[in-house]
């Protein structure tokens, strides 16, 4: 379980996160949703120790994120941020092997090689494994970055808007793959999503944020009602039941 207690963060006196406390269940996909500026990505950055906590605590299965040694934390959690800076002259295969660095420390073993080859296949990257990132489309680079995160083989995976740059087909394919890999490898995946229908279709648990606070938590069926969407996004929608999932109709 990921335990977050009393996390607050301010910029210039303005509250970005306001006393956030929640428990993220072990296993499955948890989606963080909410309007722009709700604090979703900021919370994820604190969860990954990309920022030092101003107030509060975050722990993974009892490991305090602020005090756990970096080498140990790198084997506990992995993250994909919205802004990823990697060397442009690196091949897809080498990028994925970089995800294994906490284990091989520059000397890849057969186990590391096998994990990379499997990820190339799972994420359909085989055909351009030897190409440089600069030679790929935005969507292909995004898939490669997510594959690198999964090569890290951590129990906890944090993804900040992983569907950026992906078309409809590849967005659905990626969410299906994330769902399968999360279940098969018994991982806990936390993902920031702006497409609430993707959250409704693939998340096991949903955390809705607004104005730097947790507005509501629950299953997709709990969260995705017309009333809740109105409260979160200040817009009227229809919510349909389709093949056992909620479908939010908001474009008409």
Tell which residue, 45, 47, 140, 51, has the closest CA to residue 95. Answer: 140
Query: pLDDT class for 84, splitting at 50, 70, 90?
Result: low
DSSP 177-233: HHHHHHHHTT-EEEEE-S-HHHHHHH-SEEEEEETTEEEEEE-HHHH-SHHHHHHHH
Mean pLDDT of 87-112: 89
The pLDDT mean for the chain works out to 92
* Residue 65, CA distances (Å) to 57, 124, 230 in order: 8, 33, 35
CB atoms within 10 A of CB 22: 15
So what's the pLDDT on residue 39? 93
Task: Give strand pairing partners of 8.
Answer: 55
Whether residue 60 is predicted with pLDDT greater than 90 in this model: the reply is yes
Whole-model pTM?
Answer: 0.91
Tell which residue, 240, 241, 243, 223, has the closest CA to residue 232. Answer: 223
So what's the pLDDT on residue 134? 86
49-53, 136-140, 211-215: segment of lowest average pLDDT: 136-140
Query: Would you kindly state where each structural domain of the chain is located, as residue ranges?
Result: 1-76+156-168+186-252, 79-153
Whether residue 42 is predicted with pLDDT greater than 70 in this model: the reply is yes
Counting every residue written for the chain, the total comes to 252
Query: pLDDT class for 86, splitting at 50, 70, 90?
Result: low
Whether residue 252 is predicted with pLDDT greater than 80 in this model: the reply is no
- 1-76+156-168+186-252: what fold? Rossmann fold (3.40.50)
Mean pLDDT of 169-174: 90
């Amino acid at each position: 379980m990921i335990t977050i207690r009393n996390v607050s963060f301010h910029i210039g006196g303005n509250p970005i996160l306001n006393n956030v406390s929640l428990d993220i269940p072990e296993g499955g996909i948890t989606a963080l949703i909410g309007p722009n500026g709700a604090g979703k990505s900021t919370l994820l950055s604190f969860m990954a120790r990309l920022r030092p906590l101003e107030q509060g605590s975050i722990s993974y299965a009892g490991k305090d994120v602020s005090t756990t040694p970096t080498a140990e934390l790198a084997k506990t959690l992995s993250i994909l941020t919205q802004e990823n800076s990697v060397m442009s002259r690196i091949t897809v295969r080498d990028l994925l092997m970089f995800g294994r660095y906490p284990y091989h420390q520059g000397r890849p073993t057969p186990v590391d090689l096998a994990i990379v080859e499997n990820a190339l296949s799972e994420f359909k990257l085989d055909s351009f494994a030897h190409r440089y990132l600069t030679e790929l489309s935005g969507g292909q680079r995004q898939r490669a970055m997510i594959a690198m995160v999964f090569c890290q083989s951590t129990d906890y995976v944090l993804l900040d808007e992983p569907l950026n740059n992906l078309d409809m087909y590849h967005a659905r394919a990626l969410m299906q793959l994330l769902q399968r890999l999360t279940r098969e490898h018994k991982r806990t995946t936390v993902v920031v999503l702006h497409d609430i229908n993707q959250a409704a279709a693939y998340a096991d648990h949903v955390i809705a944020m607004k104005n730097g606070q947790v507005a509501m938590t629950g299953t997709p069926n709990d969260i995705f009602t017309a009333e809740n969407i109105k409260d979160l996004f200040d817009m009227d929608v229809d919510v349909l039941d389709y093949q056992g999932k909620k479908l939010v109709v908001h474009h008409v």
